[in-house]
Amino acid sequence: MKRYLLIILLFSLAMQGFARTGEKTVSKSGVMFAMSECKNYEGVDLVSLGRFSTFALKQAIRFAAKDDPDAREALDLMKGIHRITVMDYESCSSPVRARISRRLENALSGSELLMEAGDSGDKIRMYGLMDEKVGSIKDFVLFSPSDYSLICIFGSISMDAVAKLSSDD
């Protein structure tokens, strides 16, 4: 499933570079504020890696990358990432899940939707800003209201690194 998502992401981001009309981006403060409001609900799991934690993770990968080419590719992918935040609210009650989904949708409403994929009613939305000059995507957000999860990767992700990582499978 991850491999298919990477392939779909790569293809859609390449197409978005040609079809881009606006300069909308993900509102980091809006999304982070929505998550901070929702984290106090019972059943919400929130993991956030700030600049220092992300730096420490990169250093650990760099240490492991001495003998592992896959780790070097992961390090290339993470080079421009500053913050990673994951929120899962599947364990919440049904009314709370609906409230959190609406709140996150409102926070993402002004963001540029890169792609929306669905499979038998399940939808995954990918937000971010494609920079075709540099070949990267900035402030990538993956939101799955049907799986009750949100993944935010703030910073810059090189599309060359994504392509290299997905082609080596």
**Residues sharing a CB contact under 8 Å with residue 163, sequence separation 6 or more, in sequence order:** 10
Strand segments, DSSP code E, in 59-112 are 80-88
Q: What is the pLDDT of residue 169?
A: 53
C-alpha–C-alpha distance, residues 115 and 71, integer Å? 28
Domain boundaries, the chain: 2-167
The pTM is what?
Answer: 0.76
5 — pLDDT class (breaks 50, 70, 90): very low
Residue identified by tokens 């038998």 is 120
Strands 45-49 and 80-88: antiparallel
Q: Considering only CA atoms, give the Rg of the chain.
A: 16
Mean pLDDT of 113-142: 83
Q: In this predicted model, what pLDDT tens digit does every residue of 55-75 receive, in sequence order?
A: 888 888 888 777 777 777 778
